[in-house]
């Protein structure tokens, strides 16, 4: 068998393993890295699309996105940080974030949730409420996950990644 085919099989097996771990959030599947290969050092993230409801009496539209994070590393992440970058239209309603976000930071350019420690291979789903005054066209928003160094939101380098999700205004 040539090395190209073997490489594709390995890549396919890795993709299936990671996909199964993200889908089921199974700790054992995500933490089993072969000894001859270093463990992944970046946290994984995905987010559902956000669809706002109709305009409410207070002038706001409300909706939610569910963010899934996974720790593929071999170490517990003490301060997993989920960060929503400010796009000028969609505001994380951090005042009512769940107990999954015991520490929150509102900054001019972002909203940060520091969630509970994340064990090796562990995954977590968190529902985040959003508000907007803006209707308009469908747009995107960005969320990222990083390992934090402390409760203040100091990011450890090369530990995270970003993803985007679609935002649909209510009518």
Give the pLDDT of residue 49.
97
Q: Give the residue carrying structure tokens 């390992």.
A: 147
Residues paired with residue 70 on neighbouring β-strands, in sequence order: 44, 123
3-state secondary structure at position 9: helix
All domains of the chain, ordered by start, with CATH? 3-168 (2.60.40.690)
Q: Quick check: 138 and 167 in contact, CB under 8 A?
A: yes
Give the pLDDT of residue 9.
38
Count CA within 13 A, CB hemisphere, residue 155.
15
150's CB contacts (< 8 A; 6+ apart) are 79
Q: Give the residue carrying structure tokens 């960005």.
A: 142
Distances (CA, A) of 86 to 13, 16, 39, 78: 37, 33, 32, 25
Residue ranges for the chain with pLDDT beneath 50: 1-38
Q: Encode burial over 136-154: b for 16+ CB neighbours within 10 A, e otherwise.
A: eeebebebbbbbbeeeebe
| Nearest to 126, CA basis, from 167, 97, 159 | 97
Q: What Rg value do the Cα atoms of the chain yield, rounded?
A: 18
Residues paired with residue 46 on neighbouring β-strands, in sequence order: 68
Give the pLDDT of residue 41.
73
């Amino acid at each position: 068998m040539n090395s190209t085919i073997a490489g594709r099989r390995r890549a396919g097996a890795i993709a299936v393993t990671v996909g199964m771990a993200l889908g089921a959030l199974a700790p054992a599947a995500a933490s089993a890295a072969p000894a001859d290969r270093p463990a992944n050092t970046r946290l994984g993230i995905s987010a559902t699309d956000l669809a706002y409801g109709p305009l409410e009496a207070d002038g706001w539209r409300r909706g939610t996105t569910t963010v899934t994070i996974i720790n593929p590393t071999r170490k517990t992440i003490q301060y997993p940080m989920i960060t929503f970058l400010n796009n000028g239209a969609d505001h994380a309603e951090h005042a009512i974030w769940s107990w999954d976000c015991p520490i929150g930071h509102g900054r001019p350019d972002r909203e940060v949730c520091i969630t509970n420690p994340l064990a090796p291979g562990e995954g977590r789903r968190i529902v985040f409420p959003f508000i907007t005054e803006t209707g308009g066209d469908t747009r995107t928003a960005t969320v990222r996950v990083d390992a934090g160094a402390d409760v203040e939101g100091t990011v450890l380098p090369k530990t995270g990644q970003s993803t985007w999700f679609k935002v649909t205004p209510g009518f």
